[in-house]
Structure 1
Amino acid sequence: MPRPTPVPIAAARPKKQHKPSPGKENHVAGKPVSSTVGPVANIRTRRERPCDACRRRKSRCVIHEGAVLCVLCEFHKQECTFVQSPLPRKRKVVDGEKKDSPSAQKKRYPVDAEPPPLALPTPTITATAPSPPHQSPLGSVHIPHLGETLGLQRRQHSRYIGLSSPFDSLLVGLSHFDARNESPTDLGTLRRVNDHECFIMLPDENTHEYVDEAETLAQVEQCVGGHGQALLELYFRIVHPSFPIIQKHLFIGRYRNGDRSFTPALIAGMYILALNWWSLDPRLAHLPKPDIARLEAIAMSSLSRSMEKPKLSTVQAGLLLLQRPEADNWSLTTQLVAIGQELGLHLDCSGWSIPMWEGGLRKRIAWALYMQDKWSSLIHGRPSHIFSANWAVQPITDEDFKEEGDGYETRAEENEDEQEEILRGQTLFAQMIGLTQIMAEVMDTFYTQVAIQDFKNAGKNSTQLILQRAKPVQIKLRQWHERLPANVKMNAATKSKFSSLGYLHLAYFATEITLHRRIVQSLAPDHDPYGFFMIRNAAKTRLISAMDFVNRLRPEHLQSFWYFASKINFTLIGTFGSLLWVTAPAQEEAEFYKTRLREYRWTLSVSSNRAQFLDYAVSMLDASRGMLNNLAEKPSLAQQISSAGVPAAPKRNPNGVGFQQNNGDGSPMEGQMYGSPELRRMHSGESFHGFCSGPNSGMNSLEGSVQGDA
């Protein structure tokens, strides 16, 4: 909703001109100064002293824009005066061992003080003329007005008010809203974002985390030993392009200007992920690596406390901490989903009265949370917490990645290669969202309790029912793969740079395997022979294609950023191979899968030198191999043929659609039937061969599979 010209930040009052102390904000009438940090729009600047009553209470004096009284004086129905002189503040000098004591830390960082800049090397900022302001629904800004945002304010946080809550929408509509669409109440400040949705803004100072935040930030920086800037450069170079849930230029601009009012868990999460590439930075490689265990403990503790005052940074921090290769926290995922709903991330924010750049950021975070929930559901085999009936987030677009208008318009221009990598990362992120939606449909179609009961009730017809439900999902999956942009295909040039394309294509194979896995599980020994072999051949070629993909990964893929689910997705390939081994009807086929799994294990163990998280997949393969030691010996294929005979030759589907042979990259080769040569080799007693080679060594598409015959 467009707003009129912003009102002044605080009510006009007589002020004494004080010379600002170093490190404090120097903001007058909203004009930017090169050495400052952006002001908070609805809280008075540091140059304004508190009123007499708030000074006596030792409370923060907050005045909403356009108001005459501060919040507390208005609440207590008393006069808000500025008559008394400030009391002299005694500063106790601490040194030695006392300097690091908790009591000394709290005295150095009082509640009403801005967190001091940490002792970090920051580049010198030269004053430059501001860029032309970007027009947004909230007015023109030159520097970040975080107070204009809904989910990034520094001194207060928002909570979504649902339709069935005590705040009835009709009653809320009777409230008087100012130019900022805010209405103060005894319980908090109502913030209306459109005609239907409303939030309540609550002060952070009532939470425990607010007091300890500066001290926690100091601990985080102490852990990385003053190398925070180098770690952030690694993060934005390797992780951020394909997982863009941070407002990059806003974050960098605040950091370089000395602003350290970040959520400790967020910046700790960025450091933790960047530490995976510590040895690749020439400035860091020869130095001892920071204690990552201590940093993780601080981050998780800070994240837990920040949930008392949830903001977008809380969800960002949680998502980053869950990207650690060793992270396996189902409960944290469910907590983040709940916090996202509390922040309204499940809603359509396209028409809200918030800055346009915040709308794009909210959508990116929302879809990242959606993917976290859905892939966690798959790898843990547990119910998802996000349902389509309550998910109103619009599809992500190119506009949602633009950061113009966040206040830092003067930013370094990327060269052509950097722009290409940024575009590739954005495309990768968007394509992963689309693939996740298809994967979620696979889970809803085959792995919910309702679906499991349907297949159980179908009895001997369960395979036919599964194939009928699989066809539309398989068509969507094939179309997604066919429409992949050229810059995110595995054969796209990487120009000797890290490439995270591997996690997207691995997720595609994991989705295919999850679909075929359910079909293979439903097969019964007395199933129609032709349909039985066709289904198993589709599964076999799917497995070979996935293993071949892993075998072709290059160092620039292995050493790049991998999405959190990748560790399990690599494992699922081995699990699928073990399933086909167990259900193989003949000894020759079982030996084929045994050989392929041995080769796959070797590939993973060699690749783990560059991607250590692959050790988990190797361990799972070993565990599965141990379970297979008790597998009974299977009869040979010759014995089965002599007793059962050869199945009749297959008839082509009257619709002209059958099992299709595919290229090595997974794309289908139209007009070719697949399966018959393999069937002939199986019936003639020929042994299976290793990885297929050549252009026709890909997968089977299940689209149009076994209609009428199975």
Structure 2
Amino acid sequence: MTTAIAMPPAMPRPHPVPIAAARPKPKRPPMSGKENLIQVKPVSVGVVNNIRTRRERPCDACRRRKSRCVIHEGAVLCVLCEFHKQECTFVQSPVPRKRKPTGDGNKEEVSKKRSVTSVSPPLAVQATSITPPASSPPKSPTTPRHFETLGETIGLQRSQHCRYIGPTTPYDSRIIGLAQFDKRNESSFNLGTLRRVTNNECFLMLSDDTTREYGDEVEALRAVEQIVAPHGPALLDLYFRVVHPSFPVIQKQLYIERHRSGDQQLSPSLLAGIYILALNWWLSDPRLAPLPKPDVRKLEALASKWLASSMQRPKLSTVQAGLLLLQRPDADSWSLTTQLVAIGQELGLHLDCSNWSIPPWERGLRKRLAWALYMQDKWSSLIHGRPSHIFSANWAVKPNSEEDYEDERLTNSPIENSSKEDKAEEERGQTHFAQMIALTRIMAEVMDTFYTQVAISDFEVAGKNSTRLILERAKPVQIKLKDWFAKLPASCKMDSYNGGRLSPNGSLHLAYFATEITLHRRIVQSLNQETADPYLMYICRSAAKTRLISAMDFVNRLKPEHLQSFWYFASKINFTLIGTFGSLLWATAPAKEEADFYKTRLREYRWTLSVSSKRAEFLDYAVQMLDASRGMLSNLAEKPLLAQLQVSNAGVPAERTTAPLPLPHDHMGGDAGSEMGRYNFAPTFSGFPTEALDQYGMDQELDEDSSDSSLMEE
């Protein structure tokens, strides 16, 4: 039965104005915001269907701006008027505009009407079968893209959050299939709303207003903006110019549209995370450098508080905010990483969303975000030495494809003013991101092969044959690493950068060396000087020495374009791992000459890091760790000379005198030797002669003279 309701007009009117009949309320929890409500066909009551209420037409300010007028239920002012602290009036009449003739005038008239419950057309699917919608064509440049489709998402709805329903929960898929689903693939029941994305995958949609501190997020958002005011737009531009290309975890155009329109339902923790990262490049922007820098600590306090609050109503923005906060060089957190993995699983990020009935841009965003979470978990596992929380058996996410970035490359948006160079940088960043994902998968295989408790137990049981067992398992992984490096795109090479532009490739190559070192570290750890075959020991240490020198030379050749770019969170530990590997080789060296060689190289490496830290402050951590390792090595017993070793000559490198090693060059333009002075080199161990390494299962690529000349392309 249809009833008529009357709403008080914005201003006194001389005559009563009939109001459209109320629409039937859907049987599900109430939701605030127009974008989250389904489209309902207006009820026709005589001539009343042509009358717009105050809630159905834009206010005067939004009409002048030609902006979307959004009024939340229970609110007096629209979002923009409330944001700008101005009066929200409905006095002026709309300006007449010409319409193009169409074949069906009635359809055009209906399509132009605004309703408090209207959104973009819902996905057309049947209740018994889920059919993914086709990619929607680009919208008009005057229409904010995707802004109206937030209600069609499952991970970014404005007043609801979702929880994935797994196959073993009380919500059995067969029973769910008996429910009646509407055109939005939703079915309401007493505990919430079921949202089905495929015939087998379903989410439970819950209202945000049932969680604590939900209404206070608007004030938190204002507090974030006040800390950086009036530099918010400039910092946003810095973030999307420096961080976003190689770490695309945010839907760029959608986020900028929402921010510039004054959307007060943005995540406070995500916005704070964006500002915090962007502040790292404050001095690189000539507009910002002369000005006082905003208080980062206040931003971090707000971000931490509201990230914890958002975990009660998890959305994709919760994972985005957490990942950005974890990219800070001094903010790595194992516990937060594990929380984000759990939230990602609650949001279904571990699933294949390729055929889900959600907007195409959300599919691409979910895949990019899933792989970013995968990298966070795997590299956290390496640098903390703890078990990963993501297992391949439960990871169904497909590799990224070109389609996942399509909305990032559209040029018909009115806010997109990027130059061709900027667009090329974004494409290079996306290639960089894809290569980092591929490398992380290889690194995860190294961890699973050599550092799980099962693997450690296998090596202990093998006893004297543990080194041979490790070498046997290392060969296929080493081949994958070699192939990955050989197939690197040109844009990911170390010498691929434009003058005056930052290059994130240093972080990618550092991760490659960290992966190699993690593999060889396990081999060196297994060597026992008393029981190992001397020739086998010599071969393994030769390969390890080659990798160490290559990694140190890589660090020595980093340029300002690399050092000042965006580095993934694990980078400071990866720099440290190079020093740790050198210390391990020093501590396990059988002779004094070899130990002195590594001691000298570590001293050079420390100098390189200390000089480079002037442009990349996070390198100070690696310097401190090197000093700590050196303090432990001070207790190392004196090594015997080669001549004093009572071992077979087979596998013992010949003693010879070498010229002093070249000192690293100061990246700032000075000569490091001028400050350090000359090292006092004695006749020392200079390296191992090259031999065939495949005798013990090692690939020829591990040879000293193999691929190392190609590792540095400069």
Report how many aligned residue pairs link the two structures: 591
Change in CA separation of 1:15 and 1:512 when aligned onto 2, cut-off 3 Å: farther
| Aligned match of 1:706 | 696
For 1:419 and 1:294, locate their aligned partners in 2 and report how far apart those are by CA, in whole Å: 33
Secondary structure of residue in 1 paired with 2:510? helix
Change in CA separation of 1:58 and 1:370 when aligned onto 2, cut-off 3 Å: closer
CA deviations on 1:401-436 (whole Å, 9 max, x unpaired) are: 111799984442533211221111000000000000
Secondary structure of residue in 1 paired with 2:158? coil
Aligned pairs (5 A) from 1:99-118: 118=83
Change in CA separation of 1:407 and 1:506 when aligned onto 2, cut-off 3 Å: closer
1:586 aligns with 2:591: yes
| Aligned match of 2:117 | none
Change in CA separation of 1:259 and 1:15 when aligned onto 2, cut-off 3 Å: farther
Change in CA separation of 1:491 and 1:155 when aligned onto 2, cut-off 3 Å: same
| Aligned match of 1:529 | 534
Q: CA deviation at 1:115?
A: 5.8
The partner residue of 1:608 within 602, 613, 617 is 613
| Aligned match of 1:684 | 655
CA contact (8 A) 1:455 1:462 kept: yes
Secondary structure of residue in 2 paired with 1:158? strand
CA contact (8 A) 2:552 2:605 kept: yes
Q: CA deviation at 1:139?
A: 6.0
The partner residue of 1:562 within 540, 562, 567 is 567
For 1:254 and 1:211, locate their aligned partners in 2 and report how far apart those are by CA, in whole Å: 19
Aligned pairs (5 A) from 1:92-491: 118=83, 137=134, 143=145, 144=147, 145-403=149-407, 409-491=413-495
Q: CA deviation at 1:471?
A: 0.4
CA contact (8 A) 1:544 1:698 kept: no
Secondary structure of residue in 1 paired with 2:562? helix
- Residue type at the aligned position of 1:186: N
- Residue type at the aligned position of 1:576: F
Q: CA deviation at 1:261?
A: 2.1
- Residue type at the aligned position of 1:644: V
- Residue type at the aligned position of 2:232: G
For 2:662 and 2:327, locate their aligned partners in 1 and report how far apart those are by CA, in whole Å: 32
| Aligned match of 2:106 | none
CA contact (8 A) 2:33 2:158 kept: no
- Residue type at the aligned position of 2:480: K
Q: CA deviation at 1:703?
A: 8.0
- Residue type at the aligned position of 1:690: L
- Residue type at the aligned position of 1:198: C
Change in CA separation of 1:536 and 1:603 when aligned onto 2, cut-off 3 Å: same
For 2:691 and 2:219, locate their aligned partners in 1 and report how far apart those are by CA, in whole Å: 56
Q: CA deviation at 1:17?
A: 9.3
For 2:608 and 2:346, locate their aligned partners in 1 and report how far apart those are by CA, in whole Å: 44
CA deviations on 1:326-358 (whole Å, 9 max, x unpaired) are: 012100000000000000000000000001111
Secondary structure of residue in 2 paired with 1:202? strand
CA contact (8 A) 1:517 1:576 kept: yes
| Aligned match of 2:682 | none
- Residue type at the aligned position of 1:475: I
| Aligned match of 1:619 | 624
Q: CA deviation at 1:484?
A: 0.3
1:65 aligns with 2:38: yes
1:549 aligns with 2:554: yes
Q: CA deviation at 1:452?
A: 0.4
Q: CA deviation at 1:528?
A: 1.3
CA contact (8 A) 1:347 1:391 kept: yes
Which range moved further: 486-495 or 432-441?
Answer: 486-495
Which residues of structure 2 form unaligned runs of 5+? Answer: 12-18, 43-52, 55-71, 86-96, 101-119, 124-132, 665-686, 700-714
CA deviations on 1:577-626 (whole Å, 9 max, x unpaired) are: 00000000000100000000000000000000100000000000000000
The partner residue of 1:647 within 647, 650, 674 is 650
- Residue type at the aligned position of 1:683: A
Secondary structure of residue in 2 paired with 1:358? helix
For 1:548 and 1:305, locate their aligned partners in 2 and report how far apart those are by CA, in whole Å: 45
For 1:310 and 1:405, locate their aligned partners in 2 and report how far apart those are by CA, in whole Å: 28
For 2:299 and 2:475, locate their aligned partners in 1 and report how far apart those are by CA, in whole Å: 47
Q: CA deviation at 1:16?
A: 5.7
| Aligned match of 2:673 | none
Q: CA deviation at 1:225?
A: 2.7
Secondary structure of residue in 2 paired with 1:332? helix
Q: CA deviation at 1:707?
A: 3.5
Secondary structure of residue in 2 paired with 1:579? helix
CA contact (8 A) 1:348 1:393 kept: yes
- Residue type at the aligned position of 1:247: Q
- Residue type at the aligned position of 1:207: T
CA contact (8 A) 1:109 1:115 kept: no
Q: CA deviation at 1:227?
A: 1.1
For 1:706 and 1:299, locate their aligned partners in 2 and report how far apart those are by CA, in whole Å: 53
For 2:471 and 2:595, locate their aligned partners in 1 and report how far apart those are by CA, in whole Å: 24
Change in CA separation of 1:708 and 1:201 when aligned onto 2, cut-off 3 Å: closer
For 2:30 and 2:437, locate their aligned partners in 1 and report how far apart those are by CA, in whole Å: 48
- Residue type at the aligned position of 1:647: A
CA contact (8 A) 1:204 1:309 kept: yes
Q: CA deviation at 1:260?
A: 3.2
For 2:345 and 2:31, locate their aligned partners in 1 and report how far apart those are by CA, in whole Å: 31
Change in CA separation of 1:705 and 1:428 when aligned onto 2, cut-off 3 Å: farther
Secondary structure of residue in 2 paired with 1:465? helix
Secondary structure of residue in 2 paired with 1:267? helix
Q: CA deviation at 1:111?
A: 8.2
| Aligned match of 1:100 | none
CA contact (8 A) 2:31 2:37 kept: no
Secondary structure of residue in 2 paired with 1:210? coil
| Aligned match of 2:113 | none
Which residues of structure 1 form unaligned runs of 5+? Answer: 1-10, 21-46, 70-84, 87-107, 121-126, 649-678
**TM-score normalised to structure 1 length:** 0.77
Secondary structure of residue in 2 paired with 1:457? helix
CA contact (8 A) 1:224 1:290 kept: yes
| Aligned match of 2:94 | none
- Residue type at the aligned position of 1:291: D
For 2:378 and 2:251, locate their aligned partners in 1 and report how far apart those are by CA, in whole Å: 24
- Residue type at the aligned position of 1:156: Q
Change in CA separation of 1:159 and 1:225 when aligned onto 2, cut-off 3 Å: same
Secondary structure of residue in 1 paired with 2:399? coil
CA deviations on 1:293-322 (whole Å, 9 max, x unpaired) are: 111011000000000000000000000000
For 2:322 and 2:452, locate their aligned partners in 1 and report how far apart those are by CA, in whole Å: 27
For 1:402 and 1:629, locate their aligned partners in 2 and report how far apart those are by CA, in whole Å: 56
Secondary structure of residue in 2 paired with 1:612? coil
For 2:628 and 2:510, locate their aligned partners in 1 and report how far apart those are by CA, in whole Å: 22
Q: CA deviation at 1:58?
A: 12
Secondary structure of residue in 1 paired with 2:454? helix
For 1:17 and 1:562, locate their aligned partners in 2 and report how far apart those are by CA, in whole Å: 57
Change in CA separation of 1:270 and 1:64 when aligned onto 2, cut-off 3 Å: closer
Q: CA deviation at 1:280?
A: 1.5
For 1:379 and 1:197, locate their aligned partners in 2 and report how far apart those are by CA, in whole Å: 35
CA contact (8 A) 1:542 1:698 kept: no
CA contact (8 A) 1:538 1:699 kept: no
Identity %: 61
For 1:187 and 1:329, locate their aligned partners in 2 and report how far apart those are by CA, in whole Å: 35
Change in CA separation of 1:698 and 1:356 when aligned onto 2, cut-off 3 Å: farther
For 2:688 and 2:566, locate their aligned partners in 1 and report how far apart those are by CA, in whole Å: 26
- Residue type at the aligned position of 1:588: E
CA contact (8 A) 2:446 2:519 kept: yes
CA contact (8 A) 1:475 1:703 kept: no
